[in-house]
Structures are given as structure tokens and as C-alpha cells.
Amino acid sequence: MTATTVRRFNPVLWLGAPMAVCAAASLIFALPLQAFGLRPPEPVFALVPAFAWGMIRPSILPPFALLALGLYLDLLWGGPLGLWPLALLAAYAPVLFARAFLIAQGFWGLWAWYAVACAAALATGLVLMSLRAAIVPNLAGVGWQLVATVALFPFANRLIERYEDADVRFR
């Protein structure tokens, strides 16, 4: 008979570590580096925890963490304050409400839903920036940003798998 170890849910590791990784990755990709005259795409790393936190468990802390991450992105990218918090919450809220349905999905199904959540977040940002600036941002750039962000799904899946059995009260 093997002993079963129960991991406790540590908010610092559950929220703080992904926030720090997202902030550092966003900062690195925001550096003005070019290779062959091209800049690397700037994926929205904060959408990884926005999706995963909605899947992991209901809590009051993730929306506040997403607010902080969104404000960080606004300051980093020079956008209007409140743009990215709203965009991140536009991805988080539907995932949270559809959590019972999404838990039964496999890897590819979750990736498709992650892509939908990313599209919802970027569409929210696109609409808000279009209303604010009275012009539509470059759709090709938004499309490449969406592709780069959707490619980050394995990290969201890893975060979900790491913590999905940590607190069985909410399953």
C-alpha cells in the first residue's frame, strides 16, 4: 500500500509564482530587440493564469491578481489604465462560469476553449482601444498576438494539472 500525499493550496505559489513569471516574461518580450529586422511577437502571458485560475478553483483572489497583472501590462505597454484588467477579466469570467463543462474536456478541447478565451480578451482590448482612439488598431498585429498567445496553452495546461487535485473540496 502506498501513502497518499495531500498537497495544501498555497496562495503564494498558486497566485504569486505565475504572476511573477508572467511579469518577467512580459518584460523580456517588451525589450526592443530585433532579429533580421523583425521583432518577436508579444504574447499576453497573463492570459495563461487567467484561464488556469478559472479552471483550478473558485476563489476571490484571482480577479484581484488579474487586476494587478492587467495594470502592470497597461504600465509596461503604455496603454490606458484599465484596458488589460478588463480584457483579462473578459477571459477569466466565462471560464469560471463554464468550469463544470470545461473540466470534462481533454487536452485539445481545452486548447480550443483557451483559444476562445484569448480571442475574447483580445477582442475586448481591440474594441476598447478602437473606441478610445477612434481608429482600429492593426488587425494583423492583433492576429499575430493571438497566435502567439494561443501557443502558450501548454503552460496553462501544466498550471491546471499541477493544482487540479490540490483542493478537492471545490471539484
Which residues, other chains included, contact 99 with Cβ-Cβ below 8 Å and sequence gap of 6+?
A: 54, 55, 58
> What pLDDT does residue 170 have?
44
pLDDT along the chain (171 residues), means of 10: 57 84 93 77 91 85 94 92 94 92 89 96 93 87 93 93 63 49
**All structural domains of the chain with their residue ranges:** 11-30+39-164
DSSP SS3 for 161: helix
Which residue's C-alpha cell is 477612434?
134
* Residue 4: strand, helix, or coil: coil
d(CA 31, CA 85): 22
Beta bridge partners of 38: 35
